[in-house]
Amino acid sequence: MKIIPRSIAAVALSVLFISASYSQQKATYVIVHGAWGGSWSFKRTDSILSAKGYTVYRPQLTGQGERVHLASPDIDLNTHIKDVVNTILFENLHDIVLVGHSYGGMVITGVADSIPERIKQLIYLDAFVPNDGESAITARADGQSGPERESVNGFIVPQWVKETDPLPKDVPQSLKTFTTPVSWKNPRAKALKATYILTVDEGKKPEEDFFYLFAERARKRNWKIVEMTADHNPQNSKVAVFAELLIKVLNP
């Protein structure tokens, strides 16, 4: 019988252990918040996923949330795309699950077009799904997207955004973030696995939902479509169900 030297056997066992560890490694989520909001809105989602062994990053878009002190009418969609791209590059992240909520769909589209090699899967949560050259305003067939139609001094200030509200809270957002066209040209980006989660208010039909148009666009791209009974912000109203859904989408 051939005897393997202890040192060689130890190395072999170490390699097997490391290989097993990598195979069991759980996904890394990068979650991009929606318009007027902040990364704070996904804090509870982060806690649930982290407790289950997943790694979560919540990039804060410039001018929003805790970076509201940097707010400027010069901030555009490309600024926000760079916020997320740089988080991924400087944290040296690979094989990520990139999630975009609402306006965040515009952002993750630009991120995917820029660095598709760093992304394993895209998840659009009740989000914009733009074609190449579209902005948040022009992406809709009717050419409008609610509050984005009216601006004050270069900022969009929806009815619900109040200066007197306690922190954390939604804040005004630069008009340019809604009017900047996004690039969606990269073949590698278009080949990425993608899922669209359409949230539908209880008692309503999917086609009555504001984002149904984009769910249908995703369907035409042969993406997986998942319907969830919830309002537009399941990360607040149904956080436990939403967190489980993010995991289920990866492990059907």
Q: Which two tokens stand for residue 196?
A: 């669209």
CB atoms within 10 A of CB 78: 18
Helix, coil or strand: residue 132: coil
CA distance 99 to 83: 14
Backbone φ, ψ for residue 58 (5° rounding): -130, 80
Give 167-173's long-range contacts (Cβ < 8 A, gap of 24+).
168/38, 168/40, 168/41, 168/65, 170/36, 170/37, 170/38, 171/36, 171/38, 171/63, 171/64, 171/65, 171/68, 171/71, 172/36, 172/71, 173/35, 173/36, 173/63, 173/64
Listed residue (154, 160, 174, 171) closest to 66, CA to CA:
171
Catalytic residue among 39, 102, 145, 151: 102
DSSP state of 232: S
| Token pair for 23 | 């195979």
Could you tell me if 226 and 196 are in contact, meaning their C-beta atoms sit under 8 angstroms apart? Answer: yes
- Residue 187 pairs with which residues in a beta bridge? none
Known active-site residue 72: no
- Residues 6 or more apart from 226 whose CB is under 8 A from it? 195, 196, 197, 198, 245, 249
Active site residues: 102
